[in-house]
Structure 1
Amino acid sequence: MIDINNKKTRLLLVIVGLVMYFGGIVSISYFPAQSHKTYMSENALLPGAANVEFDRSDVDAAIRYSQQWNQYIAKCNKKDSVENCRVEASKWIEEQLRDIGLETYTHVFSIAGHDDGDVSEQKGYNLYSVIRAPKSDGTESLALTTKFNVKAIRLQEGDVTGVGWILAMASNLQRRARTWMAKDIIIVITDGHFGGLGMKAWLSDYHSSGENDARSAQSYFRRAGMIQAALNIDINETYRTNRFNILAEGSNGQLPNLDLINTIARMAAKERVTDTVQLALNESPINRHLPSDMATLATFMYNQAMGVPTGDHGLFNDYHIDAVTIALPTQQQRHTIHQNSVMVIGTIRSLNNLLEHLHQSFYYYLLPSPFRYVSIGEYMISLGAIVGPLIILVLLLLFSLSTTFKPPSMKLIKQRQQQPNADLVDQQQPQQQKQQQQQPITVTDTPIDILYSATMVGVTLTIGLLFFLVPLTFPRATLSLLQDLSTHSNSLVSDAVLFVSFATVYLIIFTLVYPRLDSYFYPSSISTLSSTESGTGPLPTTPRGGSSFKVFTCLPVLLFITTMSLLNFSFSTIAAILVVPLCILPMRSSWPILRIFQALVTLAISPPIVLYLLARLYLNQNVYTLIGTLIRQYQLYSTLWLPFLTLIYIPLNILTLKLVITSSSSSSSSGSNKIKTQ
């Protein structure tokens, strides 16, 4: 049997674990060097095979529409409220789309409690038009989307806006695309006042059955075919000039089919503008000191790990629609407007060639550049190395428990096979007694230990589940409370509420819940009797539950990380880097100073302190604003940070604290321990 309490075994485990842990982290830096060139898997796409007609008149139309839109918004802001401006702006866009000759519809939706602490219902106004393919049955379609804001900006001569640019695109497609269209094209312009909620509402209504639709015939939601792919256009004055940004990260880190990105990259190669194609909007100060491929990969993994879409394209993932956001600057030269428009229309034309849904290429990949990729078979090795210490620890602990449930008959047979001959007993007995005195007493876990550990971990996970379910069950009340605390006049009092609340929960757990479980599984009378009858002196100091306590504490963490890695590798990698040391490093010790130090470190990295430091020092915001953001992001995009915090990190912190503070005061657990002697 492997004794994990042995110093040599623990030292070897630590060395192997450190090598695997840091080796896995370092191996990520080799991803760009080990990446492969992208290639087209879907032959039907044929990017760049046909010439795209987008001439000087179309460029002039994009600039003209942009100037007219900005002037209209500026006048509206001077004489009317934001609410009325949004209504008037939607009417102006509808008028322009109808003048182009498109069948256009207004989609009115309602949003309740969009602003923090505001539970009133607000209306939004989306516009969408359908360019019908003349020779198709209308069962398939493509989407070209953007959103409008009623905030005027300073436009120089030749600048474009998202609304103006997409109106010019719609005009071009209406006049020139009917000769090659095999799928309907939907032009969607959503209300940007609510962020991505406008697109979310439009997609929800577009894909709803409509059987219980109580709208009048005038506002009936007209539809095109099933959306096969989508391109979202985001034009902003803050984006860097001379850059064509492809943003692929969607809800909870989901990615589109790699062939969609490959198609755009091939169109850029045809236009000879590959140097301008990027995968991120802005570079962080840290990334500026990294090689370009590594900086791109770091930004890509960070955006994926956060789980928040980098554009409205991420909302299409919920409906299994491949989509990306193309982010462009407002300031563009005329030839740049032409090149960017050709790349977008060329991508639409390639997607129009599809005979079936995109499926040939990868859905799990990392991109160090738009033209190179790292496949799942390569990057999962790094995650396996990072969680390797946790896997080794769990396997060793499980192996040490393997004899707990072994049938008694098997143990009796093994003892008979190992029994020495009678002639050698007298000769070996003095030597055995001497070895017995030198060997440490070995303690094995009994079924009571395992049942106790499973119960303790189950109860703690239930507490974490309550932290997870309460804000989701009562979202308005929770968000309203967080808003009140974040805007409290006295920040010290509001911050103290967080620490006092968690301290109260911890005190209840460690003074009421855990002591009752300890007394139930390890009654003091049984412990005293067992210690008296053993006749072997003082028992070894092991925590209640023995090795199984560590097993059941680490198993939920291991299962969560390995399972979520199939959904969001970048998130799982960051989570593993954070929690693997918390599972490995806490140890049993008979030294009071070491136990106190471990307890203080465990409290120092407790959830309230980590959240407070993250909010104040890194994000520069109120801690309650951060918590509210985590709740909203989970509701909108199913991000994994709220489940990780409540279901994994909080229980892990509580169980670790239980382990380190009771490591030397658990000798009363002898009722469940068995001393093995020769």
Structure 2
Amino acid sequence: MEKVEGIAKRAALKAYPISILVVAAVAYYANIALTREGAENTRISEHALMPGIVIPTFDKDVQEMKWLNEILKRKNMQSRAEYIANEMNIFSIDSSLHYWQKSTPFKNYTGVSTVSMLRAYRSTGAELMIVATRMEDSHAVAMLMALAYHSREHSYWSRDVIFIFVEGGEKGMDAWLEEYYGVKEDKEGEEIMRGRGRFVVGAIVLETPDHLSREYILDLRVNGMNGQLPNLDLFNSIARIAHRGRNQLNIVIYPQEETRVEGNNGMVPFRFLLNQAFNGVEGIHSVFSKYGVQAVTIRGPRNRSGNVGRTEYVMEGIMRSLNNLHERFHQSYFLYILISPGTFSSIAFYLPLVGALIVPLAIFALREWFS
């Protein structure tokens, strides 16, 4: 015991040089572990997700443009929600309006969302997947309507698909999820939400920002609430699907500038970590992590000349992958750092960095103790 105490005292006396040495070692190790050369290549661990990498069949781009023109005419969200529900019901996709309200210490929020359910008649109805977008994003709304219409014509669905057009972004989505999972108590006489209680295998959120209008780029966002991450297999599946065929899109993660996507560089893992640490809610997909649902946001190009169908093809492939998933996401990692769309650092490689950074704190604590 005296020998250990003697070593601790000597270390405390040299707290500054030891700390500098440890920090230098951490920086050197990070330069290896958090670069493409030292990272692992991404791979799909759950082979059941591979059916999404097939020839896409989406062909409803003409109908999509018709819907887009009608949606752009409707600036009022109530009118837009009613129009979407009516159009989906015409094509036998069961749709209804969800009126919601959320209260915060500073403001009360209200809104209306459209919820459309495509039923898989060959399934038991025990599981479903969710595809969502903001009601305010006209191009994404038209895309999801066209995808729902396209999906209605196929019989290979083994899970129900819920298409949600959300007003109010994260707050609207959170309000719907609270009601779906029974967090919010039902009022007396209020109609019970259909589909409640079924397991959600995954959720995909679609956005079509204006700065990606003429780009061949797919910007992926994965950070959930308080730094939670979706299973890496979900990200890997999207990346593989986007890179397939002649309509491929380049994957970009956490670009330096929000409105000017130039590609991936060596700062991606650090921007990824900063976003994970300081952004409580990154997007609509973030609120799904409260309920253990694996979700990501896909930000893709709009349906314009030269880009027709690119984003829709990716969405179709992801839906088909989730449709074929045999069990819950569990094969791949839940704790990781994305280095690039094709490489990552697992917890086994980056956790030593965290442990090493604790050493200087412990040495200075000993120094104060002995003094």
TM over 0.5: yes
The correspondence for 2:42, drawn from 38, 42, 46, is: 38
Cα distance between partner residues in 2 of 1:315 and 1:306 = 15
Structure 2 residue aligned with 1:180 = 156
Structure 1 residue aligned with 2:241 = 267
Structure 2 residue aligned with 1:462 = none
Check conservation: 1:246, 1:325, Cα contact below 8 A: yes
Structure 2 residue aligned with 1:236 = 209
Gaps of 5+ in 2: none
Cα distance between partner residues in 2 of 1:227 and 1:313 = 13
Q: Per-residue deviation at 1:329?
A: 3.8
Matched, 1:336 2:307: yes
Amino acid in structure 1 at the alignment position of 2:343: R
Structure 2 residue aligned with 1:106 = 97
Check conservation: 1:143, 1:186, Cα contact below 8 A: yes
Matched, 1:352 2:355: no
Check conservation: 2:51, 2:324, Cα contact below 8 A: no
Q: Per-residue deviation at 1:182?
A: 0.5
Structure 1 residue aligned with 2:119 = 132
Cα distance between partner residues in 2 of 1:270 and 1:135 = 29
Q: 1:301 to 1:239 in 2, by over 3 A?
A: farther
SS in structure 2 of the partner of residue 90 of structure 1: helix
Cα distance between partner residues in 2 of 1:242 and 1:385 = 41
Structure 2 residue aligned with 1:221 = 193
Structure 2 residue aligned with 1:23 = 25
SS in structure 1 of the partner of residue 48 of structure 2: coil
Q: 1:71 to 1:301 in 2, by over 3 A?
A: same
Q: Per-residue deviation at 1:382?
A: 1.4
Higher relative CO (Cα under 8 Å, sequence separation at least 6) belongs to: 2
Q: Per-residue deviation at 1:391?
A: 2.9
Deviations 1:619-638 (A, max 9, x none): xxxxxxxxxxxxxxxxxxxx
Check conservation: 1:252, 1:308, Cα contact below 8 A: yes
Q: Per-residue deviation at 1:214?
A: 2.1
Deviations 1:80-129 (A, max 9, x none): xxxxx232222122222222321111111112358xx44xx443111101
Check conservation: 2:53, 2:244, Cα contact below 8 A: no
Cα distance between partner residues in 1 of 2:27 and 2:90 = 57
Structure 1 residue aligned with 2:148 = 170
The correspondence for 2:271, drawn from 282, 286, 299, is: 299
Check conservation: 1:22, 1:386, Cα contact below 8 A: no
Deviations 1:151-208 (A, max 9, x none): 9xxxxxxxx71111111111111122xx21100000011112xx31000000110111
Structure 2 residue aligned with 1:383 = 354
Cα distance between partner residues in 2 of 1:389 and 1:208 = 47
Q: Per-residue deviation at 1:222?
A: 1.2
How large is the Cα RMSD of the aligned pairs? 2.8
Cα distance between partner residues in 2 of 1:185 and 1:93 = 16
Structure 2 residue aligned with 1:200 = 174
Structure 2 residue aligned with 1:148 = 135
Gaps of 5+ in 1: 74-84, 152-159, 398-545, 549-587, 589-678
The correspondence for 2:344, drawn from 373, 379, 383, is: 373
Structure 2 residue aligned with 1:252 = 226
SS in structure 2 of the partner of residue 44 of structure 1: helix
Amino acid in structure 2 at the alignment position of 1:339: R
Cα distance between partner residues in 2 of 1:284 and 1:386 = 31
Cα distance between partner residues in 2 of 1:112 and 1:9 = 53
Give the paired residue count.
Answer: 363
Please show how residues 303-318 of structure 1 align to structure 2 within 5 Å: 303-318=275-290
Q: 1:349 to 1:48 in 2, by over 3 A?
A: closer
Structure 1 residue aligned with 2:56 = 52
SS in structure 2 of the partner of residue 308 of structure 1: coil
Cα distance between partner residues in 2 of 1:238 and 1:393 = 49
- Is the radius of gyration larger for structure 1 or structure 2? 1
Cα distance between partner residues in 1 of 2:309 and 2:44 = 25
SS in structure 2 of the partner of residue 45 of structure 1: helix
Q: 1:276 to 1:230 in 2, by over 3 A?
A: same
The correspondence for 2:334, drawn from 356, 363, 375, is: 363
The percent identity for this pair of structures is: 25
Cα distance between partner residues in 2 of 1:547 and 1:166 = 62
Cα distance between partner residues in 2 of 1:146 and 1:284 = 19
Q: Per-residue deviation at 1:280?
A: 2.3
Matched, 1:91 2:82: yes
Check conservation: 1:59, 1:334, Cα contact below 8 A: no
Q: Which runs of 4+ in 1 moved over 6 A?
A: 3-6
Q: 1:9 to 1:54 in 2, by over 3 A?
A: closer
Q: Per-residue deviation at 1:281?
A: 5.0
Cα distance between partner residues in 1 of 2:339 and 2:121 = 41
Determine which structure has the larger helix proportion and give its number: 1
Q: Per-residue deviation at 1:299?
A: 2.0
SS in structure 1 of the partner of residue 83 of structure 2: helix
TM-score, length of structure 2 as denominator length = 0.88
Structure 1 residue aligned with 2:69 = 67
Amino acid in structure 1 at the alignment position of 2:287: L
SS in structure 2 of the partner of residue 261 of structure 1: helix
Structure 2 residue aligned with 1:323 = 295
TM-score, length of structure 1 as denominator length = 0.50
Q: 1:139 to 1:284 in 2, by over 3 A?
A: closer
Check conservation: 2:178, 2:184, Cα contact below 8 A: no
Q: 1:336 to 1:186 in 2, by over 3 A?
A: same
Cα distance between partner residues in 2 of 1:333 and 1:49 = 24
SS in structure 1 of the partner of residue 124 of structure 2: coil
Cα distance between partner residues in 2 of 1:282 and 1:274 = 23
Deviations 1:505-529 (A, max 9, x none): xxxxxxxxxxxxxxxxxxxxxxxxx
Q: Per-residue deviation at 1:233?
A: 0.6
Deviations 1:393-438 (A, max 9, x none): 44x46xxxxxxxxxxxxxxxxxxxxxxxxxxxxxxxxxxxxxxxxx
Amino acid in structure 1 at the alignment position of 2:65: I
Q: Per-residue deviation at 1:275?
A: 5.9
